[in-house]
C-alpha cells in the first residue's frame, strides 16, 4: 500500500473517474482535481481543441506537465485522463506520490456510457468499439501494474459505485495498518 494522503484515480474512458472522484473527495474531505479540466483551464480551450491544434503528442506533453504539478500537491483526489498512464514518467509519479485506484469498466459499459458523448477525440470517427478494445488491450496491463487497489466496474449507478469504492478503500487501508 502507498501510505500517501493522495488518491489518484486511473481507468478507461467512461469508467466514472470524475464522478466517483468527486464523491471520494467529499467523503474523505479532500479537494478534487480532474486532470482534463485542469488542462482546459490552463489552455483556455477544450481537450478536443487542444487535440485538433496540437495533436495527441501536444496534448500528452501538456497532460504530463500538469500531472507533474497536480500530483505534487498534498491531500488531493486526482482523476487522470484515461491515457495519462501511457507515459512511464507519469506512471512513476502516480505510484510514488499517491494511492492509485483503478476503476474498471468493460467495453460494453464504455459504449453505453459514452453513447451520446462526442467530446472525446480518440473516439472520433467510426467503430468506437474497435477503438475502445484497442485502448483496453494497450492500457489494461498498465492500469493493473500501477494500481494499489482495483475497483470492479460492476455497478452502474454512481452512488453505488462510490459507496463500494469507499468500502474497498477503507477495508484495504485497515488491513494494511493492521499488518
- Is 15 annotated in a binding site? The answer is yes
Mean pLDDT, rounded, for 86-109: 94
> What is the spatial distance between Cα 41 and Cα 178, in angstroms, rounded to a whole number?
42
Mean pLDDT of 102-130: 79
Q: How confident is the model at residue 85 (pLDDT cuts 50, 70, 90)?
A: very high
Q: Is 21 annotated as a binding residue?
A: no
| 131 assigned binding-site residue | no
| pLDDT confidence bin for 147, thresholds 50/70/90 | very high
pLDDT higher than 90, residue 124: no
Q: Are 6 and 97 in contact (CB under 8 A)?
A: yes
14 is in an annotated binding site: yes
Gap between the Cα atoms of 66 and 87, Å rounded: 13
| 70 band by pLDDT with thresholds 50, 70 and 90 | very high
Mean predicted confidence (pLDDT) in 77-95 = 96
The residue ranges of every structural domain in the chain are 7-178
Q: Is 162 annotated as a binding residue?
A: no
Cell numbers standing for residue 114: 459514452
**Residue 128 labelled as part of a binding site:** no
* 36 labelled ligand-binding: yes
Residue 178's pLDDT is 75
User: What superfamily does domain 7-178 belong to in CATH?
Assistant: P-loop containing nucleotide triphosphate hydrolases (3.40.50.300)
Across the range 68-77, mean pLDDT stands at: 96
Taking residues 149-163, report their average pLDDT. 80
The whole-angstrom distance between residue 51's C-alpha and the CA centroid of its chain comes to 18
Assess whether pLDDT exceeds 50 at residue 2: no
The DSSP code for 121 is: G
The response to whether 16 counts as a known ligand-binding position is yes
The stretch 97-107 carries a mean pLDDT of: 93
pLDDT digits (tens, 9 = 90+) for 9-24: 999 988 889 999 999 9
Any binding-site annotation on 81? no
Residue 7 has a pLDDT of 95
Run of H or E residues at 9? strand 7-10
CA distances in angstroms from 121 to 53, 107, 152, listed in the order given:
12, 17, 26
Does 17 count as an annotated binding residue? Answer: yes
- The answer, yes or no, to whether residue 3 has pLDDT greater than 50, is no
Amino acid at each position: 500500500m502507498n501510505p500517501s494522503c493522495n488518491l489518484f484515480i486511473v481507468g478507461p474512458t467512461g469508467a466514472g473517474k470524475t464522478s466517483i472522484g468527486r464523491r471520494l473527495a467529499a467523503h474523505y474531505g479532500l479537494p478534487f482535481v480532474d486532470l482534463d479540466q485542469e488542462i482546459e483551464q490552463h489552455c483556455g480551450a477544450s481537450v478536443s481543441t487542444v487535440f485538433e491544434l496540437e495533436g495527441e503528442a501536444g496534448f500528452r506533453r501538456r497532460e504530463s506537465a500538469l500531472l507533474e504539478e497536480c500530483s505534487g500537491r498534498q491531500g488531493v483526489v486526482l482523476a487522470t485522463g484515461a491515457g495519462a498512464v501511457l507515459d512511464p514518467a507519469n506512471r512513476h509519479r502516480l505510484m510514488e506520490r499517491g494511492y492509485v485506484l483503478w476503476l474498471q469498466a468493460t467495453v460494453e459499459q464504455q459504449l453505453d456510457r459514452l453513447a451520446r458523448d462526442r467530446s472525446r477525440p480518440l473516439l472520433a470517427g467510426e467503430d468506437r468499439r474497435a477503438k475502445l478494445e484497442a485502448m483496453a488491450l494497450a492500457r489494461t496491463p498498465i492500469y493493473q501494474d500501477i494500481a494499489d487497489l482495483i475497483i470492479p466496474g460492476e455497478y452502474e449507478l454512481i452512488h453505488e459505485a462510490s459507496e463500494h469504492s469507499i468500502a474497498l478503500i477503507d477495508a484495504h487501508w485497515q488491513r494494511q495498518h493492521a499488518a
